[in-house]
Chains A and B, each alone.
Chain A
């Protein structure tokens, strides 16, 4: 066989093989496109979670649970079912979130719950209006919040927050879980646990609590700070800690929380 004919035969085989690959890829393509979209959404949620942690926790809480008097929960059933009607929004909830995050909220829609205190109830986040976030970051954070929907509607009951191993027999361990879920993390820093910066850092609290107020032991001081936050305000901070968080706790929960805080030496 001549070289040229060999090349024609081999070339034909290669073209057929290429066509076969394309056909196989083509058959799989719709599924791949759909899968890629799912993965892309997952990536966006991961990215948005990072944006949330860096920007939103001080008002909406470390787990988006909201902080009474400051900002609402973003994972409540009410948020996913009633909020759009309440404000008369025509579009989707995700668009609503994007819109609110982009421009902020100059005036609170629920001043009795979240007064805003003379400043915008929610700052502007888009870099187009002087905020720190790019559009893709805002879309990602909206995707992250939308991902609470299954939990909010009760479809994923075990979801949030599943906490790092709680030892029920150890009050400090239970207290730690309360610290993480009740909203404390929004304002207080404990190394490795939280990064809030509106209230004092709680590292080493147990060693200095006993010296704050004359006549109060460490335990008594912490108890007072929780139940009646305004009684003693650490220098350099404002009297802004809400009392209602603790007011809703049972006596047992409060004791566990104190037990946990007393471990911070």
Chain B
């Protein structure tokens, strides 16, 4: 009966079933993996040799669209960790992290000045894992900038920009610029004071350009000041234009590495005499499948874990200051750290330097009218540096990549690291910007934005009073007072108000030092602590002094409000 049915419907005998199903599965697996059979997959996972000839693991690279960007293999020495440090790989990894987190953030972010800041607050307070997403995006952005710079340094010091890789180097420099701009354009989006002023300062550089300078500035900002138009322009550049450019240039950059000239071999392998067997070992093929791919998956796991750990342990938090206020420039406005070198460079006045140099040999000239320092240092020197950077492979004609055979290039590279670090230091507000002493002292205790010792006084310690410098001893301000900190028990009892006392002590000491130095004569200063609401205190450090030059009485004070539930950092 069964046999009759089998014959009727042409059903194969039982022993053939298994084989036929496996063939069908295998065909699907080959379609999905672009040519790898089940058997082959198992061999890959077990670390066995390829099961078929020609090697099906290479076939993937010719048949799959995604895999065709990938190399078939690298030579063993090119994969040394000490050679590449995986810097380029991690830069790409961060780009992928940015793309994924960025797309999710785009669902919540509103690029409109009235709502942008509020939407960031909503991401932090109303989106599950919202803070994590923002932290990942911000951390990934800064890491991408850092790693692209490190990748550039590595390529420079191993001499990998030479020979067939000169064009790849050039696309790499373009990618560095794209990365910087991606990061900078994202800087504006939270629409807080940090964002607004960093971008205002950054974009104002173009203003001093000749003829087209103001026009470029206008195109960038969309109006004389950054507003609705400016935010939208930065947003669209950040989410569409520059990601597309980045994808294009990453593809070009990477395709040349993977399909044309590969990762450079370490110069010791390429250029030095060595035992043929050793050389053979160093140049043997390390295949993409499975070795390189496994390593990349491992690096991905490592990268994700490290980022999560950094965020989990709060070693990194994306900053969010108060709402952007075009009317109020915060005191220590600074660019993002990767532009400090540029900001530092802008503090250099070439006219004055030349005048001094010429003055030293007896020539008195006035150059400042001819040489506008903002124009030169902001618009002439940086593009010139970028062009020189791009042209390095064409300038450096030394064929050798061995460090000891290119001492000048190595010294030159190290010198530039120090120059950029020095410029970066000069770019911080600590350098070259004089703040009046009273302002400086109060600003150090409580910066306009961010934390500082004054804001870190626990709410429980705030005791209304006027604490006068010189009159009130800056020790043990509230002796009758004690409290148990939040989350503690009686063993944690705090006597008096040590934090408030410490802040007042620092305030007093620094002011009196300034008085002794003659910067603040006839000093009269106090710290007012006043309760405004049941959970809100007002703190006003107030300084009066006679101006050393004119004798006029001057005052400086700043008002701070501290709420019981304020965020502790």
Contacts and interface: CB of A to CB of B under 8 A. Distances in A.
A164 B561 CA distance: 16
Contacts of A134: 114, 323, 325
Given A4-B47, A40-B125, A136-B323, A159 B531 contact: yes
B114 A135 contact: yes
B208 interface: no
B118 A136 contact: yes
Contacts of B267: none
Interface string A144-183: 1001101100001011111111000000000000000000
A29 B129 contact: yes
A190 to B, nearest CB: 12
Contacts of A102: none
Contact of A191 (B323, B555, B564): B555
Interface stretch (A41-49, A205-213, A244-252): A41-49
A160 B124 contact: no
Interface in B3-56: 47
Interface stretch (A10-18, A115-123, A227-235): A10-18
Interface residues of A, number: 56
B164 interface: no
Nearest to A32: B131
Interface residues of B, number: 55
A33 B126 contact: yes
Contacts of B555: 191
B132 interface: yes
Interface stretch (B300-308, B434-442, B485-493): B300-308
Interface in B296-330: 297-298, 301-302, 304-305, 308-309, 312, 322-323, 325
A43 B563 contact: yes
A36 to B, nearest CB: 4
B565 A42 contact: yes
A63 interface: yes
A10 B295 CA distance: 11
Contacts of A41: 565
B526 A39 contact: no
A160 B464 CA distance: 12
B535 interface: yes
B309 A21 contact: yes
A40 B119 CA distance: 13
Given A36-B131, A37-B125, A148-B533, A165 B298 contact: no
B514 interface: no
A151 B466 contact: no
B513 interface: no
B535 A147 contact: yes
A165 B308 CA distance: 49
B402 interface: no
A150 B564 CA distance: 14
A158 B297 CA distance: 62
B225 to A, nearest CB: 14
Nearest to B300: A11
B530 interface: yes
A134 B298 CA distance: 50
A104 interface: no
Contacts of B566: 39, 42-43, 46
Nearest to B121: A40
B305 A17 contact: yes
B567 A22 contact: no
A118 B184 CA distance: 51
Interface in B81-139: 114, 117-118, 121, 124-126, 128-132
A131 to B, nearest CB: 13
Given A136-B118, A158-B534, A46 B47 contact: no
A191 B526 CA distance: 12
Contact of B559 (A5, A18, A53): A53
B502 interface: no
Given A15-B301, A147-B535, A22 B528 contact: no
B561 A11 contact: no
A192 interface: yes
Nearest to B562: A46
Contacts of A42: 535, 563-567
A160 B536 CA distance: 10
Contacts of A5: 47
A4 B290 contact: yes
A262 B526 CA distance: 21
Interface in A234-261: none
B291 interface: yes
A29 B302 CA distance: 24
Contacts of B305: 14-15, 17-18, 21
Given A33-B126, A38-B565, A164 B466 contact: yes
Interface string B225-251: 000000000000000000000000000
Interface in B415-446: none
Contacts of A160: 531-534
A163 B534 contact: no
Contacts of B526: 192
B294 A163 contact: no
A26 B538 contact: no
Contacts of B450: none
A43 B290 contact: no
Given A11-B297, A36-B125, A163 B131 contact: no
Interface in B504-547: 526, 528-536, 538, 542, 544
A25 interface: yes
B359 interface: no
Nearest to A191: B555
Contact of A10 (B128, B291, B298, B532): B298
B465 interface: yes
8 contacts: A8-B294, A15-B304, A18-B305, A49-B536, A49-B561, A159-B533, A161-B530, A192-B557
- Nearest 10 pairs of A and B residues by beta carbon: A159-B534, A156-B534, A42-B563, A42-B565, A162-B531, A46-B561, A39-B567, A14-B301, A7-B298, A11-B298
Given A11-B294, A161-B532, A192-B557, 5 more contacts: A11-B298, A38-B565, A144-B536, A151-B533, A165-B464
Interface of A: 2-5, 7-8, 10-12, 14-15, 17-18, 21-22, 24-26, 29, 32-33, 36-43, 45-47, 49-50, 53, 63, 134-137, 144, 147-148, 150-151, 156, 158-165, 191-192
